[in-house]
Structure 1
């Protein structure tokens, strides 16, 4: 399973209604961020640090060879054309059609199912309720161990928690925690800690910033249009 698949279907969609627990563009930017982090974990993509020839905080392709996964390879090819750009400046285009592609992959694996209906009998809508919840249960248990029991996360779990924290949905995912504020504090602590190699931490931090900026921009635009 890709980090983006875990993030979308198993964490950010309600099992009963198939509706997302958070809206756009934050969700779509988080998915794109998950892809960048995945490619960083695979050694394909990096974010430049201090003292490098390219300015700090820019996209860098470390290995352009295919991963063998069509979704990742298409995004790797896109990022190769954007080398030297700031990650936040490519997230919009990187996220294009990504959610639909991930949903279709999950449906093909029998984890989700497409429930097509019409609102008011006129407007077509597709919901994605869970069909097989085994992986989601295992994943929630792993997140609970880290967030509630204090175990050390591996890189993939740490990345998921950091992205969930940026979306401010951790209490919606771990619903049996007594203290929601402590849960959010713990998630932020993990996001900011040394749970991964420096290249992965840089990628996660940049993805967090891009997701947060997208949410703020969307909220500002909504407030302006309603005033």
Structure 2
């Protein structure tokens, strides 16, 4: 319809424009050309293609928050949800599970962190993501099975858990240690965040065993005292 209207468009006479000069006023007619008429017709047709309504679930999607720490999560639940996200790492998009891990991470992005056992600058998500694709941590991505080996309450707001993980690749398995800390004060008051995630058997972060030993000695000292 738009093309036929454009084809039959004729010059449209507008009120003549006022021209001043020589102490008098006179009017001259300015016709609208067929090209201008075509532009007006096409603009009208384009505007009719834009929907004037929102989708039925628009409000629901706006309210939906990215998955991350929740005030009602226990330390064990926080670990479980993170591992489950890594198991389905690429759902609903690639490396979404690592994004969840980054939201749970309790380090300061402006300082070097020992999240992976050694000091790394993890302020940028891309650096954090690449370390999960390192051979020491990639077993977590899309893993098949896992089993809790031990859990330890170091303090009231500090929790450790060692987990055996079987990866998706043949004969791929590792043991990891989560250290969860419950924040006190500030905007994250009461939330369980991940202080560190360490591969026990890799030289890249093999100091995890010594951290566990140190915590066991500390707990034993408190019990004796």
User: Fold match, TM over 0.5?
Assistant: no
TM-score range, shorter chain: under 0.3
TM-score, length of structure 2 as denominator length: 0.26
Larger Rg computed on CA atoms? 2
Larger RCO, structure (CA 8 Å, separation 6 or more): 1
Q: Which has the higher strand share?
A: 2
TM-score, length of structure 1 as denominator length: 0.25
